Amino acid sequence: MPRPRLAVRAVLTALTTMIVLGGLVHGASPTRAAPSPPEDAVEVVGEPFQGTTPDGQVRGYADLHSHLMSYEGFGGRVMCGSVFDPRGIQEALKDCSDHGKDGSTAWFENLVSKGNPFGKHDTAGWPTFADWPHRGSRTHQQAYHTWIERSWRAGQRLLVNHLVSNRTLCEVYPLKKYPCDEMGSIRLQAQRTYELQDHIDAQSGGPGRGWFRVVRGPDEARRVIEQGKLAVVLGVETSEPFGCRQVRGRAQCTEKQIDDGLDEMRRLGVGSMFLCHKFDNALCGVRFDPDTTGLAVNMGNFLGSNRFWQADTCRRPEHDNTIAPSNEITSVLAGPLAHLRPLGLTLPVYPAPPHCNVNGLSDLGAYAVKGMIKRGMLVEVDHMSVEAADRTLSILEQADYPGVVSSHSWTDRNFLQRLYRLGGMATAYASAADGFVGSWRQARKASVPGRLFGFGFGLDANGMGPLPGPRGGNEANPVRYPFTSPFDPDVRLDRQRTGERTWNVNTEGVANYGLIPDWLADVHTVGGDEIITDMARGAEAYIRMWERARG
């Protein structure tokens, strides 16, 4: 019989593996690209548009939040498949070897996708894809490069590729091929992004000729988009940037580490960054995950910092997500237990909602925000607690700094007006077409009249969350194949085919990145020309914000 303390830690470890984090994948480690034969049919007819509008604006829709290289994060053995492989699609789009012959040993996939460790799936991958990619699968590659190409050809012109990892998840997951150092993982994922650019260049005729271009600043992004190519911005969404974890409330990093880390990120080409993600760290408290997911993430917070999340009942309009357990009994206990916090003792027992994380932006966090302003980097406020986001926005307002982004609906909507007044940009988490149109209307209402308004989405591909589902009740007005891209009348798309598999957005939703154009055609059906106009301005709005931030 195990000792009690070890048994408790084993339970916490098992629960933590259910965490829904931004980005996990596993696959072969691509090396320098070499030319290879065509791998996949993108089912697009027509040449991508180039140039600008008569008044000099670039055109194209923008995904401000996805994770192309997260298969190299978290120790590199959590998810299956890679965004490219020099040996071809048959190597890139393979299931994990530890999933077995029928998926019955894919316990983590089953946990995060189905809620229990039991289940089966077809593991063949290429060329049949009988069960994946699927909008509900959490551990299979969702953004193979030809799928991204299909979206680019339909009108996408900007993609923010967030490099992502989490030390705690890496440590508790039993399989790994890399150390659990988060910043080491970020460096590797940046390298892989440049290798993907080289791979696409090789397939396109040589250096610089590919459609996928990593950009280091707004001027370069504008030039790339004018050429009709996809501008790819590097972002960072990790839980302990620069090693800035906290243990029992004590910071494990210094101002020098923050400065050195920010300088390194700029050298890597990173333009946008989160200061906290999922777990409280030395820089800021986080916006809680709700429900069952929140229970698991809270366990991870304890494993990483020796403290559970701490919450009070909010006394302000903005609030964080409600966390469990929270009921009549816990509300009675929460008050007395709060007095133990100064002693470093916390229990996952919470008062009546609405809940606010007691941890906001620390002084080290404020130092990091000011360091990002100094370097012209874009500050991501999603995942910050409302206390942290409020202080961050105040610092940005005092500096009159426009470089602020909410990229996937993970901040309180009451902050949108402040964000837009600064000159920042918000995009919505991608969801079924009708729900997404509702988010666009809310953002438009919060925007500043007379200022260019551009909208986009955060698909969060490979981010351990569901991709958009089919619109309910779409039988009367489905997307009819083939269809014309709502962003380019010269481009027509048929149903996406990869290997022996063909997808239909009307019944399957966004099964992978290549279904984005089909989903946006459905968005057009629901929202009309106005939302397409705003989304076509997404790239221009982002670049203008970045230009003002860089001064």
Question: What range defines the domain where residue 351 resides?
Answer: 311-357
For 536, residues 6+ apart whose C-beta sits below 8 A from its C-beta are: 59, 60, 61, 155, 487
Which contacts qualify for 447-453: CB closer than 8 Å, 24 or more apart?
447/420, 448/420, 448/421, 451/420, 451/423, 452/537, 452/540, 452/541, 452/544, 453/534, 453/537, 453/541
At position 244, the amino acid (one-letter code) is: C
Q: What is the pLDDT of residues 377-392, one digit of tens each?
A: 999 999 999 999 999 9
Q: Say how many Å lie between the first and final Cα of the chain, rounded.
A: 64
Same domain, yes or no, for 220 and 162?
A: yes
Over the chain, what is the mean pLDDT? 91
User: Among residues 458, 492, 517, which one ends one of the domains?
Assistant: 458
Task: Please say which residue of 357, 378, 412 terminates a domain.
Answer: 357
pLDDT, tens digit, 9 for 90 and up, residues 301-347? 999 999 999 999 999 999 999 999 988 888 888 888 888 888 888 99
- Does residue 241 have a pLDDT over 90? yes
Q: Identify whether the C-beta of residue 238 lies closer than 8 Å to the C-beta of residue 182.
A: yes
Give the strand pairing for 212-215 and 230-238: parallel
Exposed/middle/buried for residue 548 (C-beta within 10 Å: 0-12, 13-18, 19+): middle
Q: What is the pLDDT of residues 402-437, one digit of tens each?
A: 999 999 999 999 999 999 999 999 999 999 999 999
Residues 436, 366: one domain?
Answer: yes
More confident residue, 210 or 293: 210
Task: Note the pLDDT tens digit of each residue in 475-485.
Answer: 999 999 999 99
Within this chain, do residues 46 and 119 fall inside the same structural domain, yes or no? yes
Res 142 pLDDT > 70: yes
Query: The domain that contains 89 carries what CATH number?
Result: 3.20.20
pTM of the full structure = 0.92
Residues 188 and 336 in one domain: no
Number of domains in the chain: 2
pLDDT in tens, 490-549: 999 999 999 999 999 999 999 999 999 999 999 999 999 999 999 999 999 999 999 999
Shared domain for 240 and 184, answered yes or no, is yes
- Percent of the chain clearing pLDDT 90 (strictly above): 83
Q: Is 353 in the same domain as 365?
A: no
| 326 plus 268 within the same structural domain | no
CA distance 64 to 271: 12
| In a shared domain, residues 157 and 219 | yes
Based on the fold, state whether residues 320 and 436 are members of the same structural domain: no
Q: What is the pLDDT of residues 60-69, one digit of tens each?
A: 999 999 999 9
**Same-domain status, 392 and 427:** yes
**Is 393 contained in some domain?**
yes
> With helix as H, strand as E and coil as C, how does 87-121 read?
CCHHHHCCCCHHHCCCCCCCHHHHHHHHCCCCCCC
Q: Which of 403, 425, 458 is the last residue of a domain?
A: 458
Same domain, 49 and 154: yes
pLDDT at residue 39, rounded to an integer: 57
Q: Is residue 410 part of a domain?
A: yes
Residue 226 has pLDDT above 70, yes or no: yes
Q: What whole-number distance in Å separates Cα of residue 86 and Cα of residue 199? A: 7
Q: Are residues 416 and 443 located together in one domain of the fold?
A: yes
